Chain A
Amino acid sequence: MGKLIVAVALIVAACGGGATSAPATPAASVPVGETAVPPPTPALSGSVRVLIHQNPPFVDFMTAFNKTFEANHPGVTVEMEVVNANDLMAKTQSRLTAQDVDVIDIFAFDRAVQPFMKNVEAPGWQKLIDAGLLMDITDQAFVKSYDAASVADAGSYNGKVYAVNLGRVGYSGLYYNKDLFAANNVAVPATWNELVAACATFKAANIGCMTAGGKDGWPIFVGAYGLLGSYFPDQLGLVQGLWDGSIKYTDAQWLELLGKYKVYAGEMIEAGASGIAGDAAPGRFASGEVAMQAGGTWYAAAIDSLSPSFKWGYIPFPGSDNAADNQFMFGKYDQGWAIANDSSNKDAAVAYLSEFSDPANYQAFVDAVGPIPTQPGATLSTTLGAEIAPYLATFKIGFENYWLGPKGAGQYATPMFTNLFKPFGTFDDPAAAAAQAQADLQSGLDAAQ
């Protein structure tokens, strides 16, 4: 019975010897802080097995950091495995279960079960903690390097700390090519109508309007988070409204919003974007073939590294015709670090995160990868930092981080995460898409009763 995935996966995980391949080429050009912590006593030994997700600037930084860490601790080797972000949770589960990982890259503790939710599955991070697989790091000194809000909001559960979060990211923005905008005499759009007009201008000039890394699925509709945000700035309220029925996808406001989704998918995103991998989208944008890229702030470092002289800007997605509605940047706490509770080398794992959390190293990480920092003393002094500075004061945690669907709900119950409209999805009519989404959600809500 080849389909018996559960048991086979457990066996494979149990047989998996360790890890894995460190990136072959160290990124010598990535600066790692020079004030690294000296080796503690007694001297550490053995290996530190680290699991991280694919993000080229982050991988380059970690490769360089690992070399520095090994140099500071001659008895220690770092074995780092890089996996696609979509596979990170499954891989985390396998390796924690097999007890062959020490330090894991874990996304923030979001999607917690809200009081108004019923019949939902607890998120994966909560199950990992309930299973005793993550180490309680509440008393570790390096935790104090991070701001208390990020520790409480993105790494704590039941009063204990299990992860430190490395930064917030915005995901409701648009990158735009300054030179192309200037050359085509297009002003940076502040409203939806201006965005539509800008796309028309670029397409008339045989320039693609915008791209996205659609091969990974979700990046196609990252830009639509901005659309959603301009209509529903209170994102937790939106989630609660959908759950209690006070907001329905078939409401007039949603129908208008879905009409814009349709324009976004069919007329703004360039044809063929579904073939572009998420980490290839910055290259497509930096090539100048398209004027804009819908995407999160995590792409900024890659865009800069691909073409340092490339001039770009970053704005909240202008989803509303009222410019005042388009002033919010939505996002989330992003990646963080946790330690496996069953780690056979906890001292080295703690030393690894202590050294990473050293302010100089953390600043180097911020410079290389570009998150909005969660260490009080760090600054984002990059192009992105300047671009998003006006929106940090009103930065909002987005819909995605609150949403859990009830068991039994259909796949369109959360239309933000699915490619609804042609050419990426099957829908052509916003009313039909709304009806399907509401039916899928209602089905789960009814089951929860």
Chain B
Amino acid sequence: MRYLFGNGASRLAPYLLITPGLFLYALFALGPSLATVVFSFTDASGLPKLPINWVGFDNYKEFLTLGAAARENLDALVRTLIFSVGVTVIQFSLGLFVAILLNQGLRGTKFFRTLFFFPVILGVTIQGLMWTLFLYPIGGPLATVLDWFGLQSEFLGGQPREAFIWVMVVQIWANMGITMVIFLAGLQTIPDEIYEAARIDGADRGQLFRRITWPLLTPSVNTNLALTIIGSLQAWQLFYVLISYRPGTQVLGYVVYATAFGQTSGSTAGTTFRQGYGAAAGVILFLIVLAIGITTQYLLRRREARLLG
């Protein structure tokens, strides 16, 4: 039998080549992840010299069942799912629409492609700062426009539902460029001859999209859905930068951060360093992402097999 890298000692080459990557993955991803699971069963504070006691499932019980705080945690879970569905549907649709437009070969395509992708390269802090200025309620750009119509809003500092929607808007604005680029790459792999043949057979624009573009974009659709769903389930940085702690706005990712690092307010203000508890919240979030991720992947792969064989 002949191996790709040759016989004898050369057969070890692939393993040697992936060793650095595996080492880094174990060091920076797998190891801390496993440690987090272990921490979630302790009362670890994150401070180096305090004793760490094994508390079993107490952190999980507290997070899921203890008093009104548990109800708020479940509210945060529901909010996370709403955020994920909203962001995924809009970002996916918008990214596809923009990619199709930019794939028409119209003038200015490169400019608009750069423009739409630009937010992706900005850090979360810069994105947050830009939108904070844009939404500044006293004389800010949008406030001025609203004022022309006799309207007024506190935007990010007002009603929690409105603030939450604004974070969704910023999340979509910040990440739509990636969705667009993946779709553009997918669109450019579809040969023109297929469209040409379909047109000769009398297919209209709708049929071209339904019968050719959409099925052949399946790999891009799968990639985009997976990235957007997982990314939106894990989102918390924009909540932190744009609105920080506010009742009625937290998503699960923010709750994890807040409980572990003391960014809470209200009844728990001043109590900090509950990293065991925060780790339990993180594991719960991980399990939710895992369940949704695996289900999504299963459905998407089944669809891909059905469409593309």
The listed residue (A123, A411, A441) touching B271 by CB distance below 8 A is A123
From A7-15, A179-187, A254-262, A356-364, the one touching the partner chain is: A7-15
Task: Give chain A interface residues in 254-286, CB to chain B under 8 Å.
Answer: 270-276, 284
Bound-state CA distance A96–B29 (Å) is 24
Distance from A420 Cβ to chain B, minimum over Cβ atoms (Å): 9
Is A404 a contact of B271 with CB atoms below 8 Å?
A: yes
* Shortest Cβ gap from B208 to chain A (Å): 39
Which chain A residues numbered 387 to 412 have a C-beta less than 8 Å away from chain B?
A: 403-412
- Told that A89-B262, A410-B267 touch, could you supply 20 new A-B pairs with CB distance under 8 A? A4-B36, A4-B279, A4-B286, A5-B261, A6-B282, A90-B272, A124-B271, A130-B50, A131-B48, A132-B49, A218-B265, A272-B143, A274-B154, A403-B269, A408-B70, A409-B267, A412-B266, A418-B266, A425-B247, A447-B66
From 105 to 121 in chain B, residues with beta carbon under 8 angstroms from any chain A beta carbon are none
Known: A3-B286, A275-B154. A405 touches B266 (CB 8 A): yes
User: Can you list 20 A-B contacts (CB < 8 A)?
Assistant: A3-B282, A4-B286, A5-B278, A6-B36, A6-B278, A97-B48, A121-B272, A123-B270, A124-B262, A124-B272, A124-B273, A127-B50, A218-B265, A272-B137, A405-B266, A407-B69, A418-B247, A446-B67, A447-B66, A447-B67
Chain A minimum-CB-distance residue to B33: A1
A444: B residues at CB distance < 8 A = 67-69, 267
A90, A93, A133: which contacts B49 (Cβ < 8 A)?
A133
Fill in one digit per residue for B126-146: 1 if any A CB lies within 8 Å of its CB, else 0: 000000100111101001000
> Judging by beta carbons under 8 Å apart, are A419 and B246 in contact?
yes
Q: Which residues of A contact B (CB under 8 A)?
A: 1-11, 86-87, 89-90, 93, 96-97, 110-111, 120-124, 127-128, 130-133, 214-218, 270-276, 284, 403-414, 417-419, 422-426, 439-441, 443-444, 446-447
Given A275-B138, A275-B157, A444-B67: A412 in contact with B247 (beta carbons within 8 A): yes
Chain B interface residue count, CB cutoff 8 Å, equals 68
**Any A CB within 8 A of the CB of B62:** yes
A272 and B266 in contact (CB under 8 A), knowing A97-B48, A409-B67? no
In the docked arrangement, what's the CA distance between A2 and B36, Å? 11
8 A Cβ contacts from B140-169 to A: 140, 143, 152, 154-160
Taking CB as reference atom, which chain B residue is nearest A214?
B157
CA distance A272 to B45 in the complex (A): 38
CA–CA, A439 and B267, complex, Å? 12
Q: In the complex, what distance in Å separates the CA atom of A122 from the CA atom of B270?
A: 9
A3 CB contact (under 8 Å) in B155, B253, B267, B271: B253
Interface flag for B39 (CB, 8 Å): yes
Q: For A443, what are the chain B residues with a Cβ–Cβ distance below 8 Å?
A: 67-69
A-B contact count (CB 8 A): 228
Q: Are A127's CB and B47's CB within 8 A? A: yes
Say yes or no: B154 contacts A423, CB within 8 Å: yes
Name the residue on B nearest A444 (C-beta).
B67
A403 contacts which chain B residues (CB < 8 A)?
269-270
Which of A89, A133, A275, A439 interacts with B140 by CB under 8 Å? A275
Closest 10 pairs (CB-CB, A-B): A274-B157, A408-B67, A7-B32, A405-B267, A410-B68, A272-B137, A121-B271, A413-B267, A124-B272, A272-B138
**How long is the Cα–Cα vector from A133 to B272 in the complex, in angstroms?**
15
Q: Which B residues lie within 8 Å of A130 (CB)? A: 50
Contact A90-B47, Cβ < 8 Å, known A3-B253, A275-B135, A426-B159: no
Chain B residues, CB < 8 A from A446: 67
Contact A3 to B272, CB < 8 A, known contacts A214-B157, A412-B247: no
Contacts of B271 in A (CB 8 A): 120-124, 404
